[in-house]
Structure 1
């Protein structure tokens, strides 16, 4: 086979065979296909698209480019994937909640991308926590604790790493076909028995349009099921931060608070709904609950009993973190020296939020990257974020900015004020909308 002929066939709109796709992925892995050829292939796919059979073949080939984990566990190996948002620390709570109900969660997560936070960056704020353990330790923690949240190792779907790096600089990242293969190749390589996807939609998501988010969810579900992994998806709202905190250490602190009773507070209504619903879906797909109502009840009991918090603490300790992290999170997490309230320009109710802008503010504080090599300040971020419908004014700030200096806080203050659209104080407040927009079954 010749790479240029495969590229030409896709450029002309032909359907590629499984062998042709496997040939291109092998070339991605061993370097025999040049960067220019990979870029041309990606652009041909971007404009011509792929059939379901092609997407399944691409996903499987990328999965098989490295190690495929095999699990021998007393219960199902389950995971979830989120397309990214602001204040989305669901993974930190969800993994131990599902483990508390009999599931095993080998969760392979990523770092921040664009304005969205990354689970690994959050976990790196825990002293000693190993986000890149050896496979033997990873497996041992999953078996003994029930969950382990780590990063992608070098031998899992290595073709995806090279392909993504080339797509990132050739304006082909947005292809749903290539996004689908990129996400699912890593999940398939993790050896899962079931997967639930959280596809975000709104001004804080990569896909602001509902139809586009629904299309991505349908592609992911159809390809994953076609590749042999039972999968469901939720489409959820990201027109405001999911949690009232955005950053790294501040989101870990929020997760500990959530697991130890904070889930019942009004400001956690949205994130509690999404986390419980994802967990219920995971329990049903893993055969651990007969239906979603039973799954929701089991997830809430895992929180109320303290079992999920206990498992989170055991996971942190098993992966090198402090043994008393849940009990003394505040003493272990780094704190920024300045917490500055950001007051609104006038009193009123929050009528709209530019959620992406809040994520950018975290990056400007040093809590994210503008280049892949940039270090992260894990202590900075935003807390007490006002949600839609909240009353704000001289005694009710938009948020607290955690910064290294008063000047750093002042530098993001106008961005934060500009991110909030206010209605008059007496304006009627619409009832809170559910963050659960749609469901896509396999």
Structure 2
């Protein structure tokens, strides 16, 4: 018979858990009445895991036990091989989910994308979508099925019945400084994706100054663990390590990023955003065996964007998730004007470049910190987000910039402080020679994990 203190002692002493011990701990954690795991014991266990780690086998068992702690979604048999999703470890200006989900739906896939809210610099995917008037993120499983049948994609929040163990553990990880534990990160992310009943998954592992993972080596380690854990549960998985030294696209902030995502779906907007959407989609189509090569997947993704099919799917998803028909159609017009629909800030302040040459770097972390201070993100769960504020870049890495010309616009409601202006200005690095930016840094598959 296991005991909670005994399990804490075992991991404290750097010993390895059995599958049964991990299952016991998770089952006790989620008991509705009389659960044996006290708050202090959960904190002690999380710290023991943080300090002493877990083996790959332990991590897989933890992930499976967390998945099975609540509802596991199931889909019609005729969808077998078509149910797919994407997960990003989070970055600055990362609005990829908004164009990617409808583009995949336009390719014939079913995308039950369960996303989260932002905590820190900028809003999460759900926050961005909630900047669209009427958009509903809390959708019951039965309604998800109906939306997927009609549209092919939905982007929703985590329900109370889905992976309840993660909700309990994450709240304690946040207040015990154990968020950065790799086994706990893998367990949290993969258990939720596994509970979606996926056939295939693409992981976007952000690497660089604007992400949790600071270098390619760390990214390979995290990607390898996540790929192995997913594959152990029958989910065909590939991970792309992508550059997050500079922001993705040209916008940071909720309404601004929705506008840019719509531009991407129109075949417009920044090239790096479209490039990443196409790459992630192509690798996912290949992993799901819906194309014979990644190159064929790229052609398919580019076609559904250029033809307008992906934009039509996005419009249908908006309507299915509560947006009024006239609002959705106005947003999704080929030459859409969103100024009277999406929130806009009271003030827009441009900053001019003090140097001249080629843009060598735009520090994603510095801009994200200022965007968060403006109100685009949260300092703690429950904080209200200002959808209107954020930062819009007028240049990207590799562009030529002249001294005295504006390179960024700050969208704000409150007066800007000198520290904020200085931090934004310090984010820009200009050099005398042209610089290029590699977007996809590496790819991790089950063979390389």
RMSD over equivalenced CA pairs, Å: 1.6
* Equivalent in 418, 426, 429 of residue 426 of structure 2: 418
Q: CA deviation at 1:353?
A: 2.4
Secondary structure in 2 aligned to 1:302?
helix
User: 1:379–1:40: structure 2 CA closer, same or farther, 3 Å change rule?
Assistant: same
Counterpart in the other structure of 1:235: 241
Counterpart in the other structure of 2:167: 161
Contact kept? 2:358, 2:433, Cα under 8 Å: no
TM score, norm. by length of structure 2: 0.93
- Give distance in 1, aligned partners of 2:250 and 2:22: 44
- Give distance in 1, aligned partners of 2:280 and 2:348: 33
Contact kept? 1:106, 1:148, Cα under 8 Å: yes
Residue pairs, 1:359-398, within 5 angstroms: 359-393=368-402, 396-398=405-407
Q: Does 1:89 align with 2:107?
A: no
Q: CA deviation at 1:153?
A: 1.1
Q: Unaligned stretches of 5+ in structure 1?
A: none
* Equivalent in 309, 312, 331 of residue 310 of structure 1: 312
User: 1:157–1:227: structure 2 CA closer, same or farther, 3 Å change rule?
Assistant: same
Residue pairs, 1:34-433, within 5 angstroms: 34-72=38-76, 74-75=78-79, 76-263=82-269, 268-323=270-325, 324=329, 325-327=331-333, 328=336, 329-393=338-402, 396-405=405-414, 407-408=415-416, 412-423=420-431, 427-430=432-435, 432-433=436-437
Secondary structure in 2 aligned to 1:408?
coil
User: 1:141–1:411: structure 2 CA closer, same or farther, 3 Å change rule?
Assistant: farther
Secondary structure in 2 aligned to 1:19?
helix
Q: Deviations over 1:59-84 (max 9, x none)?
A: 01111111110011644110000000
- Give distance in 2, aligned partners of 1:117 and 1:216: 23
Counterpart in the other structure of 2:438: 434
User: 1:400–1:73: structure 2 CA closer, same or farther, 3 Å change rule?
Assistant: farther
Contact kept? 1:88, 1:117, Cα under 8 Å: no
Secondary structure in 1 aligned to 2:9?
helix
Counterpart in the other structure of 2:26: 25
Q: Compare 281-290 and 233-242 and name the one that shifted more.
A: 281-290
Q: CA deviation at 1:29?
A: 1.2
- Give distance in 2, aligned partners of 1:238 and 1:322: 35
Q: Deviations over 1:112-154 (max 9, x none)?
A: 1322441001001000000112222222111110100111111
- Give distance in 1, aligned partners of 2:23 and 2:168: 15
- Give distance in 2, aligned partners of 1:91 and 1:68: 22
- Give distance in 2, aligned partners of 1:73 and 1:244: 41
Contact kept? 2:199, 2:234, Cα under 8 Å: no
Contact kept? 1:200, 1:238, Cα under 8 Å: yes
Counterpart in the other structure of 1:6: 7
Q: Compare 178-187 and 3-12 and name the one that shifted more.
A: 3-12
Q: CA deviation at 1:158?
A: 0.7
Secondary structure in 1 aligned to 2:118?
coil
TM score, norm. by length of structure 1: 0.94
- Give distance in 2, aligned partners of 1:159 and 1:385: 43
Contact kept? 2:119, 2:380, Cα under 8 Å: no
Equivalent pairs, count = 433
Secondary structure in 1 aligned to 2:345?
coil
User: 1:62–1:148: structure 2 CA closer, same or farther, 3 Å change rule?
Assistant: same
User: 1:208–1:116: structure 2 CA closer, same or farther, 3 Å change rule?
Assistant: farther
Secondary structure in 1 aligned to 2:339?
helix
Q: Deviations over 1:300-359 (max 9, x none)?
A: 001110000000011001101132131253321111122221222343432222211111
